[in-house]
Amino acid sequence: MATHPASRDEARQPAESTHPVDEKLPALKMATSGLQHVAAMYAGVVAPPLIVGAAVGLSGTELTFLTGACLFTAGLATFLQTLGIWKIGARLPFVNGVTFAGVAPMTAIVASTKDKSDALPIIFGAVIVAGLLGFLAAPVFCKAVRFFPPVVTGTVITLIGVSLLPVAFGWAQGPNPAAHDYGSAEYLTLAGITLVIVLLLRRFTRGFVKQIAVLLGLIAGTIIAIPFGVTDFGPVADADVVGFPTPFHFGAPQFHVAAIVSMCVVMVVSMTESTADMLALGEVVERPANEETIKAGLRADTLGSALSPLFNGFMCSAFAQNIGLVAMTRIRSRFVVAFGGGFLVLMGLCPMAASLIAVVPRPVLGGAGVVLFGSVAASGIQTLARAGLDKDNNVLIVAVSLAVGVIPITVPEFYHAFPETARIVLDSGISTGCVAAVVLNLVFNHLGKSRKEERDVTHPMEAGEEIAVVH
């Protein structure tokens, strides 16, 4: 591949010149590039509040408010990560937003809460505690990351995607499970059309259009759904042009031990993912992330998460898909991403803009969700590909952890005999799968093992035999 002239010019710059990460580009270029980052992660930011809000049973107006709040807090978290204050913020081109890792545990909290009006305050209280504990643990965690190798993180990320796919399948069947037309051919056709549109855009387009294929698929699917009579523009008509996410709009935070434990597990997963993302992004922008960078980045993630519930937002984490965008465009300035954070804040302050997502019919969301959530699972599989699955220990870790993690998905009532507080954790496949992966990794790859033994390759079922390779 030929080297771009700009790359050669950068290579000739003296050591004391401004690093591309700290470069301030022309305002128009920063604005358009920042919008591209927002477009690449927009669907990922609005999906969690849609899932949790639907589980709580929020009205269209309240769902719009929750979506706007998550956009607003994502912008604030992005500012914290890219611009930084004191020893907080990696100061890398990171986009932050609501983490998918928290969706399944949050819906489990909702399901176990008798009075649904208490569900969001309980979630917010748990996120605040998890965020503060994560902030305090950041200096230690950046040293303990060796206990979260790809075999653990890959398993957890795969479980995140697998746990969310049933949500997409539910959306594809319609808005109301109790309705007579739930799962009708009409709804499934809309979902299928949306899925095909997204796939075609990803296959036959390039650059910016390819990056926003999911967003374009949602728009096209919504337009196609209008003749079917399932597109409701009421939320837009009822939304204000300007608004502010009132602090604790859904009630003061409540602190329940089981919910806190569940979200602390999610925080560990989130911090692990963010660490991996910082290491990857550091290589992409040619500013390797050292221990201090990771520590500062984790502080930004956790502090952003702790502050997010104040404005009715959820746990925040780095968005990995934007790393790919940085690598593709070669625009490495953190100020570009800060511009994107500004757009997120403005969208959060404009309820009408936030309400647009509420217009999208559930079947259309379901079709796009198959790609979105499936991509998360695929990312986990990519990580597992680098996890050394030629070693029997790692095969066993993945096998058992995945099995434990899919129990709540395949057999939802498996833990019905356990106390309700324990079920908040047990009914989250991500939480149980993460705990299983960490513990098994310690038992098989660390405790009582010499380095030579860790390198030995044996059959998963019969110690001492090598894995046969079929040619």
Closest CA to 313 of 48, 44, 110, 79: 48
Mean pLDDT estimate for the chain: 81
Give the pair of three-digit tokens for residue 8. Answer: 């050669």
Residue 190 has pLDDT above 80, yes or no: yes
CA–CA separation, 164 vs 366, rounded Å? 11
Residue 132 has pLDDT above 90, yes or no: yes
pLDDT tens for 215-225 read: 788 889 989 99
Rounded to an integer, what is the distance from CA 94 to the centroid of its chain?
13
Residue 116 has pLDDT above 70, yes or no: yes
Please give the sequence-ordered ranges of beta strands (E in DSSP) within 177-336, or none if there are none. 316-318
Three-state SS for 116-130 is HHHHHHHHHHHHHHH
Q: Are 379 and 229 in contact (CB under 8 A)?
A: no
pLDDT of amino acid 235: 67
Entry pTM:
0.67
Residue 311 has pLDDT above 90, yes or no: yes
Please report which residue ranges of 285-419 form alpha helices under DSSP H.
291-307, 321-329, 334-348, 351-359, 362-385, 392-410
pLDDT tens for 240-264 read: 777 788 899 999 999 998 889 889 9
Residue 309 has pLDDT above 90, yes or no: yes
CA–CA separation, 10 vs 33, rounded Å? 20
pLDDT of amino acid 400: 95
Per-residue pLDDT band at 458 (split at 50, 70, 90)? very low
Q: Which residues of 30-54 are buried (b: 16+ CB within 10 A; e: fewer)?
A: bbebbbbbbbbbbbbbbbbbbbbbb
Q: What percent of the chain has pLDDT over 70?
A: 85
Per-residue pLDDT band at 68 (split at 50, 70, 90)? confident
pLDDT of amino acid 288: 76
Per-residue pLDDT band at 16 (split at 50, 70, 90)? low
Per-residue pLDDT band at 275 (split at 50, 70, 90)? confident
Residue 48: phi and psi, rounded to 5, are -60, -45
CA–CA separation, 143 vs 141, rounded Å? 5
Residue 180 has pLDDT above 50, yes or no: yes
**Which of the two residues, 286 and 395, has the higher pLDDT score?**
395
Around 223, how many Cα atoms within 13 Å sit in the side-chain half-sphere?
A: 6
pLDDT of amino acid 296: 92
- Which of 160-174, 290-304, 374-388 is the most confident on average? 290-304
Per-residue pLDDT band at 40 (split at 50, 70, 90)? low
pLDDT tens for 341-399 read: 898 898 888 877 766 666 788 898 889 888 877 877 887 888 888 888 888 889 999 99
How far are the Cα atoms of 167, 402, 426, 430, 433 from residue 409, in angstroms, in the given order?
Answer: 11, 11, 11, 10, 12
Q: Which of 81-90, 352-361, 378-387, 446-455 has the lowest mean pLDDT?
A: 446-455
Per-residue pLDDT band at 320 (split at 50, 70, 90)? low
Average pLDDT over residues 99-118: 84
Q: Which residues of 71-97 are buried (b: 16+ CB within 10 A; e: fewer)?
A: bbbbbbbbbbbbbbeeebbbbbbbbbb
Per-residue pLDDT band at 401 (split at 50, 70, 90)? very high
pLDDT of amino acid 315: 92
Dihedral sign for Cα 467, 378, 412, 434, please.
positive
